[in-house]
Amino acid sequence: MATTTSSFMFLKRILTSSPCRARIGSLRYSKLTIKAQSSDVRKEHVVIVGGGIAGLATALSLHRLGVRSLVLEQSESLRTGGTSLTLSKNGWSALDSIGVANYLRTQYLEIQGIVLKSEDGKELRALNFKEKDGSQELRAVERRVLLETLAGQLPTDTIQYSSRLVKIEPSPNGDTFLEFLDGSKILAKIVIGCDGIRSPIAKWMGFSEPNYVGYCAFRGLASYSDGQPFELRVNYIYGKGLRAGYVPVSPTKVYWFVTFNSSSPGPKTTEPSVLKKQAKDLVENWLPELLNIMDSTPDDTIVLTPLMDRWLWPWISPPVSRGRVVLVGDAWHPMTPNIGQGACCALEDAVVLAKKLAAAINSDDDTSIEDAFRSYGNERWLRIFPLTILANLVGSISQSDNPLVCYVRNNIVRDRVRKNTRLGPLLEHTNFTTESLQR
């Protein structure tokens, strides 16, 4: 089923990414003019739309370089829901550049390796980060704490909540007109779109909708008030068209996921007790420890997410910027979480963009801002496009429900990976460091 779904998704991807679609998008908007009267339009220099990981990391990176920005977030407050994210050494390098890594390190456990298991609980392979490749740093962090930490370092009034962008239009002088659900209007010199996977700004720029990849993920955060009992390893358990995993986060918390094939994203279910039951039913005969972790999970931390990505085809996908509007994070490159890189790459984007933008702003030259955005796009595309494809391929193999593919996969993991005892090549994609933002 997964193979058929993948082929269908591949065709759909090509059709929905066509240049025609991009062109229609840009024509529709190119004729719009600004009729708003200047009296009710506030002027801003750097506006960031979206206060998620990308938006806050970009705002803080710019702040470290002396550039003030205004973050406009649609929610009423910082989105503190959600579970955890595993951040690899490239994510930690970006957090080091931004200046918040050491604070977060004190709260989250450093993971020592990876264990791969089959659904009957048999260990296929255990790999230790420190044995051969001591340079890896992997920790799962709570999304809530990451957001609060980034927001806590920003000057007061940087984030304006309840600001849902509903309209974006170019203005004749190169500025951008933004209108929000509450009727407020802003004329911004520079706009950074960090508005996530369903980004209205990306849509305005001609990007296609992200593609559903044929599987969904349950996630949860288990709580052990007397201390979590597991070894400091990421556990991956492979079934047929179904996979699960868990990893200790902090001394009292364990993050888990269950990923299952589904021909459609299905109706949006948010009732936590229903989600928990559905997730448990999927893995009811799997390892008892997995069910124990799920039982130890407060219902309200459980979420169900259909997984999506968008491939940034060369010459077909629109560029990352349009005039002085640019994209960061999922708004530009939604990718599946199979290699745990979406947030890591959003953090990398933030640091790289901030450096280039701050240099351009300080040179006080409008053209150089557009050049800075182009340079950011060229540099980041080389990193993002292969990672998006890699994540998708890893997902296709991991989610396969074809018995032959599952047999070969598990045997390769058990025999081949055992011989190839180096973890380095498997984690090559985490070898990316960002520069310090100290002025």
Ligand X SMILES: Cc1cc2nc3c(=O)[nH]c(=O)nc-3n(C[C@H](O)[C@H](O)[C@H](O)COP(=O)(O)OP(=O)(O)OC[C@H]3O[C@@H](n4cnc5c(N)ncnc54)[C@H](O)[C@@H]3O)c2cc1C
In the complex, the residues that contact ligand X under the rule CB under 6 A are 49-55, 72-75, 79, 85-87, 91, 163-165, 194-197, 200, 217, 219, 305, 329-331, 337, 340-344, 346
Q: How far is the CB of 278 from ligand X (least distance, A)?
A: 15
- Nearer to ligand X by Cβ, of 342 and 377: the residue is 342
Give the separation between CA 329 and CA 335, rounded to whole angstroms. 10
Q: How far is the CB of 288 from ligand X (least distance, A)?
A: 24
Q: Which of 189, 149, 148, 188 is closest to 165 using CA atoms? A: 188
DSSP β-bridge partners for residue 308:
212
- Nearer to ligand X by Cβ, of 148 and 366: the residue is 148
Phi/psi-derived region of residue 359, left when phi > 0, alpha when psi is between -120 and 50, beta in every other case: alpha
- Nearer to ligand X by Cβ, of 164 and 414: the residue is 164
Give the separation between CA 391 and CA 205, rounded to whole angstroms. 25
Q: How far is the CB of 366 from ligand X (least distance, A)?
A: 25
Give the separation between CA 115 and CA 138, rounded to whole angstroms. 14
H or E segment at 86?
strand 84-87
- Nearer to ligand X by Cβ, of 81 and 121: the residue is 81
Q: How far is the CB of 343 from ligand X (least distance, A)?
A: 3
Q: Are 72 and 180 in contact (CB under 8 A)?
A: yes
C-beta nearest to ligand X: residue = 52
**Which residues, other chains included, contact 77 with Cβ-Cβ below 8 Å and sequence gap of 6+?**
161
Q: How far is the CB of 304 from ligand X (least distance, A)?
A: 9
- Nearer to ligand X by Cβ, of 307 and 406: the residue is 307
- Nearer to ligand X by Cβ, of 150 and 423: the residue is 150
Give the separation between CA 423 and CA 308, rounded to whole angstroms. 27
Q: How far is the CB of 219 from ligand X (least distance, A)?
A: 5
- Nearer to ligand X by Cβ, of 147 and 406: the residue is 147
- Nearer to ligand X by Cβ, of 346 and 361: the residue is 346
Q: Are 238 and 120 in contact (CB under 8 A)?
A: no
Sign of CA dihedral 115, 131, 88, 84: positive
Q: How far is the CB of 111 from ligand X (least distance, A)?
A: 12
Strands (E), 224-343: 233-238, 242-250, 253-261, 303-309, 321-322, 325-327
Give the separation between CA 85 and CA 140, rounded to whole angstroms. 5
Give the separation between CA 189 and CA 324, rounded to whole angstroms. 7
Q: How far is the CB of 75 from ligand X (least distance, A)?
A: 5
* Widest CA span in the chain: 70
